[in-house]
Amino acid sequence: MSETAIPAAHADPASPPPGDAAATAWRVACAVADIPAQGARVVAVAGRPEIAVFRTLDDRVFALVDRCPHKGGPLSAGVVHGHAVTCPLHNWAIGLADGRAREPDEGCARTVPARVEGGMVWLAVETG
Ligand code: FES
């Protein structure tokens, strides 16, 4: 896992993120190449919980708040398999697309909208 911080200068005001555009904005997080395949990179946003950005073997990118819904384990340190990550603390499997714990476990990690453009990962981060 690697870590990066989102610089405010990389805002993309032309394209509002999904949901409440007044409270979130797209920011460049990192290059896709900065995320190891089947791994994660931690993105720090000032005053907000850290975000884990995952890259799957088929080169899809997903983002979740880096906190397991069970007891807060760092999902960024988990093992990515398919489109899920297994938490390193107690092995819950969490879906990367919806943040939901796989049965029989119950709970949901917060998802963060992510998109890839020109090899760069953009995240819709809270600003308000
Ligand atoms: S904290 Fe993630 S499975 Fe327990």
What are the structure tokens assigned to 18, written together? 């999904």
Written as one string, the DSSP assignment of 66-83 is S--TTT---GGGSEEETT
pTM recorded for the entire structure: 0.86
Domain boundaries, the chain: 2-126
**Any idea what the Cα angle at residue 70 is, between residues 2 and 103, rounded to 5°?**
105
Distance 38 CA to ligand 1 centre (A): 19
23 — pLDDT class (breaks 50, 70, 90): confident
For 24-34, what is each residue's pLDDT tens digit? Answer: 899 999 999 99
- Counting ligand 1 atoms within 8 A of each CB, the residue from 70, 79, 102 with the most, and so the one to mutate, is 70
Peptide bond into 16 cis (omega under 30): no
Tokens of 110: 């917060």
Q: What distance separates the 2 farthest-apart alpha carbons in the chain?
A: 43
**pLDDT tens-digit map of 76-99:** 999 999 999 999 999 999 999 999
Q: Does domain 2-126 have CATH number 2.102.10.10?
A: yes
